[in-house]
Amino acid sequence: MNRLPVRYLPDAPEPSQWLSFVGQLLETEDIITLQEFMGYVLLPTTKGQKMMIVICKGGEGKSRISRVLRALLGDSMNTGSIQKVEVDRFARADLEWKLLMLDDDMKLEALPQTNNIKSIVTLEDKTDLERKGRQSEQGDLCVRFICFGNGNLGSLYDRSYGFFRRQIVLTVKERKPDR
């Protein structure tokens, strides 16, 4: 269901420009985590049961990550709001057969509920999807979330381990003036 718009080049050179960029953006151990998560996004599975939150102040270049992901995933990626996915009953249907939903500017307001996000992140079965003006139906969601924002993803009421264990949180380095 997902055809990626890339060609595999087994003898491709090392991506020196990418490695330089992420080296300026993230700590060394976080680079490995980001790249592993990006690899996980290429597979239509939610067995990792994780979503990624990247915290930054702004202007660091995190949107370059979204450009690379769009080039790799093409139409298998949606951009939107994680808050909308949680509270709008029709938003989940837009994620059917997508590999990634990227929230490029996550709101800092706490989620009023977390059951939809938790379910999507760990889902390994069909789920109920609603589309406006149509009968709901069971559909496949293998989407993962990456959210960029100025703070953590919070919840008004859910203080459970289950909500926070699903999150991988990375914090970007301070932006150097000469970058």
Residue 39 CA: distances (Å) to CA of 33, 48, 105: 10, 11, 22
Per cent of the chain over pLDDT 90 is: 75
- Model-level pTM? 0.91
- CB crowding 154-179: b at 16 or more within 10 Å, else e: ebeebeeeebeebbbebebeeeeeee
pLDDT in tens, 50-75: 999 999 888 888 888 999 999 999 99
pLDDT beyond 90 at 176: no
Residue of 83, 25, 81, 78 lying closest to 54 (CA atoms)? 25
DSSP 174: P
Separation CA 102–CA 146 (nearest Å): 5
* pLDDT per residue as tens digits for the range 110-139: 899 999 999 999 988 889 999 999 999 999
Token couple for 66: 């979204």
In which band, very low, low, confident or very high, does the pLDDT at 179 lie, cut at 50, 70 and 90? low
The closest alpha carbon to 112, from 85, 149, 80, belongs to: 85
Give the count of beta carbons closer than 10 Å to the beta carbon of residue 63: 15
**Hey, what domains does the chain have and what are their CATH numbers?**
16-171 (3.40.50.300)
Q: Is the pLDDT of residue 84 over 90?
A: yes
More confident residue, 158 or 102: 102
